[in-house]
Structures are given as structure tokens and as C-alpha cells.
Amino acid sequence: MRIKIDKKIIIMAMFFILLFLSFWKNFFGIVNQEEFIDFGTYSDRYPVMDLIHTDIFGKNTMFYSVRNNVNQVGEWTFGESADILINQKYDGLTGDDFKVYYSQIGLGSILYSIIFFIFGNALSIKAITLFTALMNTTSIFIVIVWLQKKTNFLTGLAVISFVIFLSPDLIKYGRTFYWVLWTWFIPMISSIYVLGSKTYKSKHKYLWSGFITFAACLFRFMFNYEFVSVVLIAMICPYIYYYLKKCSFSKKKTKLKVLNGIKLLGAPTVGGIIAFIVSFIIKVIELFLISQSWKEAFKLSQEASSEAIKHSDISNLETIKLYLTTQWLEIGNIKITYAGLIILCTLIIVVCLAIIFYKEKTIRKYIPLSITTLFSFCAPISWMILATVHCFYPIHGIYIITLWYVPSLLFLVATTFYLSINVVILLCNKNGE
């Protein structure tokens, strides 16, 4: 008995493996290897220190712990903390050598502790980096497959090729487990799941979407609060597409369409906001358990660093300009910024839509994806506006730039390629006639 396997599935499986190898090993070398290995380790040392604390005291902190400045030595580097963990160099270490890192809630601490108890001192860091690369691959691959289903197979391959070969700022996130890139996409993936499920066709669909979104967003926020607005807006993108796809653009029943749109988008939005509130309450309770004072707990939850105060006068426009003018790629002697990439793709989209409208007298088929792509840019820009100071931290800039991919550039490349293919097909067919 022969089992027939669709060639497209085989090809996508191959691309999945290539994407995984890129995230795990920088397989195609699009990032400087030294930068790839070192990227994120400044932050990754915190979960490693937490594992040290777990191994010494038999329990995790629920927060990442860091080493105090003892005898002017300062905090351990990633390499030092990894060496201490792997070789169990715990002589002389006490609870006083650790302090609580208040920026986390603790789900990452629990997850990595489980991996640590399974793999032990020697292999736990390797296991965590492997797990991280696999989860990054899976989450982004799911989004790309969704885009493929809304366009075509070639567009899906184009987007995944864009990530593998032309996205160094995304690939270098492959192994860093403090930043948990894969969790940024979890709420959006939950939206894709909800809209594709049979339950969404039932009378309880809004309750269902709100609940699933709440669970997905709470899961994300229980790791950390980084990029809250980005995650929430990205989560709404599939709903925007769904609404535009189902919506008739005639003037009939306008009020009903608006009401349906509010209910469609309102349910997941409320679910996401409630998840944020709940996670914040959990954080305050944890801080209370540490400080034994509600006043101190709220103070710690709102604590601003000296770096934040120093950059408090930075304008929103300056922040957006900074990340638009950051280099995306260097081809030969030509340096292309993110603004250059976005403008080029936008021009191609506009030209393609104009050609299609001229030839077909309608662009209705392409409106949902085009508008959703435009809306998706609210995600990265929202953080640049809401967290301007955070964006100007010297050690944060290299991390913030990757927000262009969540999910804006994935949508932009998909829309550009999809429209370009359709224009080529349209022109070839017309010439053939």
C-alpha cells in the first residue's frame, strides 16, 4: 500500500527544518557568528542564575535572581554563571548572594526549572537553547502557514525565505531564552486557532474568543511585560482580516456591520486587557510576599531606573525615526534601512493594486490583506510611542528593532509578493490573449 504525501507538505517540512537550523545554529551565516552566539546573553544570565539558586536551595525564586555586588566583584556574566551551574561551583554561596529581579513574573523560571530537573547541570542550558530555537521556529512557522492559506503556496515560501535569508535581526533571537521570542506570537496564534475552530461558528463564539485570548495573553504576560501593546495588536490582526473578508463594502446595513465588527474585535480585546490586569495583580501579590508591604509592592512594580529618567525627554517621533533609519540589510556597499524596505514594498503594493484595478476594475479580493498589513504596523509603532524611554536604553535598542517583524514585515512581504505574482499572471494572461 502506497502512502501519497503532498509535495507541498514535504517542501514546507524542509523549510521548517531550515528555519530551525537558522534559529539554532545560524545555519546560513546571515548573522555574524560571534554576534549570534553573544546576542541576548547579557539577559540570559538571569535565568541561569535562577537555576543556580534553584539547585542550591531546592526551589526557584518565581522571579529571576541576580548576584549582588559582593566585594566590588559585580554580577556574573553569562559565561561565569553557566560555568558555575554546569560545574556546581557553589562553595561559599548563600542566599545573600542573590537578589530579586523585579521585571519578571515567574513562568519562565518554572519552565526552565522543569527542564533543569530533567536534563541536569551539564545539559540544561543546551536543552533550553534547543527548546527555544524549536519554539521560535514553530510559532513563526504557524503564522507563515496562515499567511500562505490566505494567499498561495509560493507566497508562503517567499515569506519563510525572507525570514531565513534576509532577516538577521530576527534570526539572532533564535537561542536567547530570556526574551522568549516565541511567546510574542502566542496570542496571535490563539486568534488564528479561534477563527479556524468549529466553536467559532456557534452562538458562544464571542465568549470563546475572549476566553482563549485571555488564556493566551496571560500565558505570554506571565513570562514578562515586554512589548505588551505589540502583542495585543498583533493578536487582533487575524480578526481584522476575518472581518474584512466577511464584510460587504456596500452601504447596506451599515449599523449592523459596525456592531458586528465591535463584537468581533471587542471580545478578544477585552480578553487581552483582562489578562494584563490579572498578570499585574499577580506580580503585585508576589512583590507583597517579598516586601511584606503593599505600599512597597506597588512602588517596586512602578520603579523607574536612572536610565529611564535620563531619557525621559525623548520624543515619540525621535524614537520612530531611530528604528526606521536602523539598517535592515547590507548588500554589497549598499545599506538598506527598515524605512527603505517598507517604502519599497509599499510602492510595489500600490503599483500592483493600480494595475489590477485598471485590468480587472476591482481590487476587492486584495483589500483584506492590504488593510490588515497596514494595521499591523500599529503593533511595533505602538511600543515606540508608549515606551519611548524603554526604546532608548543602550542595551535595549538591539532588541526593540525586531518588533518590526511582529507581525508587520511578515505581512508586508506576503502582501507584496502575493500582489506581484497576481500582476505577473494577469499581464501574461492578457498578453496570451
Last residue of a domain, one of 269, 303, 337: 303
Are 367 and 281 within one domain? no
Last residue of a domain, one of 180, 202, 224: 180
Residue 63 has pLDDT above 80, yes or no: no
Predicted local confidence at residue 308, as pLDDT: 52
Are 345 and 278 within one domain? no
Predicted local confidence at residue 259, as pLDDT: 86
C-alpha cell at 145: 502557514
140 or 60, higher pLDDT: 140
Are 219 and 352 within one domain? no
* pTM for the structure as a whole: 0.93
Residue 68 has pLDDT above 80, yes or no: no
pLDDT classification of 2: cutoffs 50, 70, 90: low
Are 50 and 160 within one domain? yes
- The residues facing 98 across adjacent strands are 67
pLDDT digits (tens, 9 = 90+) for 119-131: 999 999 999 999 9
pLDDT digits (tens, 9 = 90+) for 350-405: 999 999 999 999 999 999 999 999 999 999 999 999 887 777 766 677 788 999 99
Are 174 and 206 within one domain? no
d(Cα 75, Cα 73) in Å, to the nearest integer?
A: 7
pLDDT digits (tens, 9 = 90+) for 337-346: 999 999 999 9
113 or 388, higher pLDDT: 113
Predicted local confidence at residue 32, as pLDDT: 94
Are 169 and 32 within one domain? yes
- The residues facing 123 across adjacent strands are none
The string of DSSP letters for 66-93 reads EE---TT-----HHHHHHHHHTT--TT-
Range of 403's domain? 305-433
Are 290 and 314 within one domain? no
Predicted local confidence at residue 200, as pLDDT: 83
Are 350 and 431 within one domain? yes
Number of domains in the chain: 3
Question: Among 104, 117, 120, 115, which Cα is nearest to 65's?
Answer: 104
Are 129 and 162 within one domain? yes
Are 386 and 266 within one domain? no
Predicted local confidence at residue 306, as pLDDT: 47
Residue 117 has pLDDT above 80, yes or no: yes
Kindly state the percentage of the chain with pLDDT values over 70.
Answer: 92
- Provide the residue type at 372 as one letter: T
pLDDT digits (tens, 9 = 90+) for 170-194: 999 999 999 999 999 999 999 999 9
Are 72 and 197 within one domain? no
Last residue of a domain, one of 275, 303, 331: 303
d(Cα 75, Cα 95) in Å, to the nearest integer?
A: 15
pLDDT digits (tens, 9 = 90+) for 226-267: 899 999 999 999 999 999 998 866 566 667 678 888 999 999
3 state SS of 65: strand
Are 295 and 410 within one domain? no
